[in-house]
Amino acid sequence: MAEHGNSGGQDLQVSFSTNPGKYKHWRLTFDGELATLAMDVDEEGGLGAYVLKQNSYDLGVDVELWDAIERLRFEHPEVKAVVVTGLKDKVFCSGANIFMLGLSSHAFKVNFCKFTNETRLGIEDASSTSGLKFLAALNGTAAGGGYELALACDEILLLDDANSAVSFPEVPLLGVLPGTGGLTRITDKRKVRRDLCDAFSTVAEGIKGKRAVEWRLVDHLSPKSKWAETVKAKALALSTQSTRPGLAAQGQGVTLTDLDVKVDGFAFSYRYVTLVVDPKKRTAEITLKAPVTKEPTKNSRDKGADLWALRCYRELDDAILRLRTQFLEVGLITFRTEGRRDFLLEAEATLLQQVNDGDWFAHEVLQHMKRVLKRVDMTAKTLLCLVEPGSCWAGSFADLLLFADRSYVLDDSGADEPATITLTPLSDGRLPTGNGLTRLQTRFWGDDAAQAKLRPFVAESRPIDGAQAEKLGVVTFVRDDIDYPDEVRLFVEERTSLSPDALTGMEQNLRWPGPETMETRIFGRLSAWQNWIFTRPNATGEKGALSLYGKPDRPTFDMRRT
């Protein structure tokens, strides 16, 4: 069988655009203020030459889950609680498909784990910031990634019978780790005692019944005879904790229409985003565009999915996911911006005002912008921002600039529109990154004086010119029109010549100074531990546990501990 996600060229042609009418693996139904998201994986519907037995999942299954969560937030404001359950007998979800992982390249495995992590964090974000509550109704065994999905929910209800259990079999059976935040969530989120976590994670068959409750691995049990009524009762109880509009917003949802993208070789053109890839140079360029006309100043919901702030960031999300899965060898993304700064500033100021006024749709748009920027932050490619005359580094675009690994300003005082940067109140707490801080706080971690100097610019949305930007530390370097082209070119050539492994380690360490959160720990461990473990022969070597899973041969381990 062909290897999944090889290292060169366009690796995996997977679309991140779907809708409930196209789902192969999930069933989404509604009952007043409750929704049910039921996993019913089509065994023959995988992305590769493997069978998705026992509700195991691959990237295609998780794309549908991610899409469903987004649609629940935007299209169904009446829903306050979601039941996540399974439709297979005796199994909720057996986790990531082992044969898919065995066929996958190292790069694909890590990107797959990253996307599934982001999806589960999206569930938790929907609960914490939008009041959409989740009940994992485990109608059978939840193993590995299946239990990790349950852990992302607010509460877990387990069927109390002789078979149903929760388990992390990765260490004893596969020689790897629960790769979508499992170990972090049972300690940091569910507060399971450390030695019990150790015992749980080395027992392949898992824990069931009353012991699962006593160890805090699940919250509730229900016998099969009372299953349906218990699920509904627990979901309704969760819904009382929700801050969502509920039935008062029936019919107000906004449909997430398909994104139109024109593909011409290695160029991908959306309405507000353009992505151009140069495979030979291992680079990509993303251009972000401001609104081309004025946005609504009263009800943003009138424009629906065509609202600039929603559409632009949905397009950016799609472009980043395309780069991750189709162009693994691209090592550097150059960001440029263009368009009417005044239109962008007015659009975002209106959105923020509507959020402050309690508009649910504006709130969801802003939360979506936050999640997409986090996706950019978490992408294992160098992020370079170029600030040039006529560009539009303002508002949320400027937040991207603040987090870039490197930024350059072309200081051309003779230009009709000299390069400037405009920070706005959005940068002052509305768009936090994974460490829980704003990008402004993250950039100037430990330097309160530098942050204080920028407060007036942020509060007044006052433009910062090139000379000021360098002095205030908003950008890395400012260069004149003689030095700028060569310095940028040399940086790109140098950066793309260095070891991708070393760069990923360096960038991921430097992007989140300051306090750790569950989110940064999850991704830090993914980047370090999973990158290492997935390449060790004990897991993926010819005689490794993951490679030999389902075969008669037993793995052979290199027993040296390092």
Closest by CA position to 79, among listed 135, 157, 22, 139: 135
pTM of the predicted model as reported, rounded to 2 decimal places: 0.94
Based on the number of CB atoms within 10 Å of its own CB, is 265 exposed (0-12), middle (13-18) or buried (19 or more)? exposed
For residue 274, list its beta bridge partners: 269, 287
What is the H or E stretch that residue 142 is in?
strand 141-143
* 13-32 exposure pattern, b = at least 16 Cβ within 10 A, e = fewer: eeebebeeeebebbebeeee
pLDDT of residue 474: 97
The hierarchical CATH code for the domain 20-248 is 3.90.226.10
pLDDT tens sequence across 262-303: 999 999 999 999 999 999 999 999 999 999 999 988 889 999
pLDDT in tens, the chain (562 residues): 333 443 333 345 678 999 999 999 999 999 999 999 999 999 999 998 899 999 999 999 999 999 999 999 999 999 999 999 999 999 999 999 999 988 888 888 888 999 999 999 999 999 999 999 999 999 999 999 999 999 999 999 999 999 999 999 999 988 888 877 899 999 999 999 999 999 999 999 999 999 999 999 999 999 999 999 999 999 999 999 999 999 998 889 999 999 999 999 999 999 999 999 999 999 999 999 999 999 988 889 999 999 999 999 999 999 999 999 999 999 999 999 999 999 999 999 999 999 999 999 999 999 999 999 999 999 999 999 999 999 999 999 999 999 999 999 999 877 788 899 999 999 999 999 999 999 999 999 999 999 999 999 999 999 999 889 999 999 999 999 999 999 999 999 999 999 998 998 899 889 989 999 999 988 887 777 777 888 888 888 889 888 888 888 989 988 887 7
Closest by CA position to 148, among listed 121, 176, 109, 125: 121
Closest by CA position to 72, among listed 10, 5, 20: 20
3-state secondary structure 362-379: HHHHHHHHHHHHHHHHCC
Based on the number of CB atoms within 10 Å of its own CB, is 416 exposed (0-12), middle (13-18) or buried (19 or more)? exposed
Joined tokens for residue 16 = 């991140």
Which CATH code of 3.30.750.24, 3.90.226.10, 3.50.50.60, 3.40.50.1480 fits the domain covering 255-504? 3.90.226.10
Domain range list for the chain: 20-248, 255-504
* 380-398 exposure pattern, b = at least 16 Cβ within 10 A, e = fewer: bbbbbbbbbbebbbbbbbb
Place of tokens 């508002």: 395
Q: What proportions of the chain, in percent to the nearest 5, are helix, strand and coil?
A: 45, 15, 40
